[in-house]
Structure 1
Amino acid sequence: MLFETTSYLIEKFATVRNQTIALIEPLEAEDFIIQASSDVSPPKWHIAHTTWFFERMILQEYSENYQVFHPKYNYLFNSYYNSIGPYQPRQQRGMLSRPTVEDIIAYRAYVDGQMIEFLKEERIPEDQRKIEALVEMGLQHEQQHQELILMDVKYNFFTNPLLPAYQSKSLEQDVPENALMETSFIPFEEGLVEIGHTGDGFAFDNESPRHKTWLHPFELATRPVTNGEYLAFIEAGGYEKSEYWLSDGFATVQKEGWKAPLYWMKDDAGEWTIFTMNGVEPLRLDEPVCHVSFYEADAYSRFKEKRLPTEAEWEWASRQVDSV
């Protein structure tokens, strides 16, 4: 959906960009460069890459007099856009002690200022729609990276023996802890259904085209699996019994030494704890289990004599559940 006014577009741009800065406020300078795995990126790279998107995809393409902040940033902060050119290998993003965090914050401020002035310019409706669509894409992209910042910081901190906390917030528990809550299921009939983007609002390209697919009858649980329920799988020897696992999954369990979901630990008294953004906390048995791989989720489903929903089943159910 195109933005109705330039002022709304600028407001949304500022809101999303400021949220990224708010997310990095708890970090110390040393935290910004850590890359504990090739599967994560340093926070400094995230805040630079999201800025690079607006510079490269909008300002360099559509602003006549734009001057790039630094000619090498196009190489350093491109991700996988092969059509644009070569880029810093993902596994080497943590090697970049320079530019400094201060340099990157200055880069963001420069691009933000240029973007706001650019968005104030008048242009023909066709070009305006194109710019609005690109800005919306950039903001959706940045919100994805906001999630990645938290995900990657959490993993980086977990690899530190000090197990530092990203924040310190008390989380109230409204529901009494109960690891064995009753589970009900919603039935769905078989039939030919339509899934995919409907054409209303923003969507990424992999959500289209809308298409028909046949679904067999299935039932979907009305709530997520809890930590307590997953703990029962662990205590039943779930990680040691190959019959619950896909062959690749069980090979990974043995190779990686998996005994529980990522971030689960036992304290000195043998009690289960979990590493969170607040640091190490007791494992709350009634909370939904998270940080499990596809292999682990699939193995648990087999343990319960169930299965995981397919993508088509999940999408169809999510669209229908309010009317059930």
Structure 2
Amino acid sequence: MTADPAVPAGPLTGPATPGESPETMRTRVAALLGRSRDRSTALTALDDGELAAQHSPLMSPLVWDLAHIGSMEELWLVRDVGGREPLRPEIDGLYDAFQHSRSSRVELPLLTPAEARGYVAEVRDKALDALHRSPLRGRRLEAEGFAFGMIVQHEQQHDETMLATHQLRSGGPVLDAAPPPRPAGAVDPAAEVLVPAGPFEMGTSAEPWALDNERPAHVVDLPAFRIDVHPVTNGAFAAFVDAGGYDDPRLWTDAGWAHRTEEGLVAPRFWSRDSDGTWWRRRFGVVERVPDDEPVVHVSFHEAQAYARWVGKRLPTEAEWEKAARHDPATGRSRRFPWGDDEPRAEHANLGQRHLQPAPVGSYPAGASALGVQQMVGDVWEWCDSGWHPYPGFSVFPYPEYSEVFFGGDYAVLRGGSFGTDPAAIRATFRNWDHPIRRQIFAGFRLVRDAGV
């Protein structure tokens, strides 16, 4: 059985743009809700046993994710925006992510796959009715379609989580997608560019569907630095492994070395080496040689930091990453996306699960930032050397459990999205975060150095 949840070729529909009319917004939202559900359906096109199983203690059963998607949609679009009575109030607690850890959800009396599919379909019918009736103006939750955009992003975020669950499951492949494009000419994976000193506008106060942790826009002044044009590749990271990088505690922080030792880490997750020294990886049920020219993926913050020390560089701060991605020195303004303000298209970035792997570095020159940095959106989430904190002037909206309750933990920031991130759920201001030990996520990194070094 093969499922292909890839986004159709051609222009990709992204998040709402500032100033859209309610009519245009309504059309956009309906299309995005449909695309999100098509992807959720494809990712859950498995037999009931596979859907109800827990493929890793790090992840929920896929059937929990599916019903949780419906539960959030019912809460915000059916009950709140639509003003309807609850459909299944007795299951609210089962699908509250804060009441049950991922590892414990398999023990809950969850909806069966058939029940979950029926539930999300019923919710969707009523959510579309709410979309038809909402003025998409007025109160903040409905203005510019925010609640609908929030739910589109929520479903797509869980789709990416379910994609990570597919990577963790054992057995043969059940997903399929075309291979990514290759660069047209020669690429220098060691290329870097200078980001000039000075202020830039970080975050946003104008993006209609920006989430609370992206707000408000504020000025940050940074010294000059140099950033790699491309993310670190598999080939470069394999050289670190082969040089004994995992065996040298001088390259690791105390926390990183303790984790590396406790878990016995020797290479990126899903890599293995045969007797002649060739590196192989398991990718969605397929075992294949590790391609040297793709961005490395499935590495933790600790591994990224150790590699950076090995080459004499460092991870970028979150502000450095965003300036390199958004700042246009010719105009002094910050762009919505690295390539400009236009929503993502296929030539800009590897997004939307069109491909089931990162593309080789240099594959998306049309997606370069004003400063010439490539592949900052899509391919792999990029670890930043910044903790998870609110911006100055942060305020909760519409609920604290999305961002606020996580501030100040041991989390590290990730930016840019991955090949599994949908265009509607990413922009150059989007902020992600996770524990620095996490490796199941589609995370890689790029490096910076001070301008005078």
**TM-score class, shorter:** 0.7 to 0.9
2:48 counterpart of 1:29 = yes
Q: CA deviation at 1:182?
A: 4.7
Within 2, Cα distance between the matches of 1:218 and 1:241?
Answer: 27
Answering whether residue 82 of structure 2 is matched by residue 63 of structure 1, we say yes
| Structure with more helix by fraction | 1
Report the counterpart of residue 309 of structure 2 in structure 1. Answer: 302
Residues of 1 paired with 2:109 and 2:227: CA distance? 48
> Paired residue for 1:164?
172
- Check whether the contact 1:274–1:280 (CA below 8 A) recurs between aligned residues: yes
Q: Offset at 1:212?
A: 2.1
CA distance, structure 2, for counterparts of residue 278 and residue 197 of structure 1: 40
Paired residues for 1:1-324 under 5 Å:
1=18, 4-5=22-23, 6-25=26-45, 27-68=46-87, 70-80=88-98, 87-96=99-108, 98-121=110-133, 125-126=137-138, 130=142, 132-155=145-168, 157=169, 160=170, 163-169=171-177, 171=179, 174=182, 181-267=188-274, 270-320=277-327, 321-323=369-371
Of structures 1 and 2, the larger Rg is shown by 1
Give the C-alpha shift of residue 126 in structure 1. 1.9
**Distance verdict in 2 for CA 1:198–1:186, change over 3 Å:** farther
CA contact (8 A) 2:136 2:142 kept: no
Return the offset for 1:60.
Answer: 1.9
Stretches (4+) displaced over 6 A: none
CA separation of 1:221 and 1:122: change in aligned 2, threshold 3 A: closer
Q: Give the 3-state SS of the residue equivalent to 1:239 in structure 2.
A: helix
Pair 1:307–1:135, CA change in 2 (3 A):
same
Residues 193-225 of structure 1: CA distance to partner in whole angstroms, max 9, x if unpaired?
A: 321114134211111122222312210011111
**Aligned CA distance change for structure 1 residues 61 and 253 (closer, same or farther; 3 Å):** same
Output the CA distance in 2 between the equivalents of 1:301 and 1:197.
Answer: 30
If the length of structure 2 is used for normalisation, what is the TM-score? 0.63
Contact 1:188–1:219 (CA under 8 A) maintained in structure 2? yes
- Mapped partners of 1:302, 1:13: distance in 2: 43
Deviation at 1:14, TM superposition (A): 2.2
What is the CA–CA distance in structure 2 between the aligned matches of 1:239 and 1:56, rounded to whole Å?
Answer: 46
Classify 1:55/1:62 alpha carbon distance in 2 versus 1 (closer, same or farther; 3 Å).
Answer: same
Give, in angstroms, the shift of residue 104 of structure 1.
Answer: 0.2
Gaps of 5+ in 2: 1-17, 328-368, 373-453
Of 8-17 and 310-319, the range deviating more from structure 2: 8-17
In structure 2, the CA distance between the partners of 1:170 and 1:63, relative to structure 1 (3 Å rule), is: closer
- Alignment length (residue pairs): 309
TM-score (norm 1): 0.86
Structure 1 residue 323: deviation in Å? 4.8
CA distance in 2: counterparts of 1:323 and 1:293, whole angstroms: 27
* Partner Cα separation in structure 2 for residue 188 and residue 123 of structure 1: 43
Quote how far apart the aligned CAs of 1:226 are. Answer: 1.1
Gaps of at least 5 residues in structure 1 are: 81-86
Within 1, Cα distance between the matches of 2:86 and 2:72?
15
- Work out whether residues 135 and 142 of structure 2, in 8 Å CA contact, stay in contact via their aligned partners in 1: no
The CA distance in 2 between the partners of 1:43 and 1:52, in whole Å, is: 14
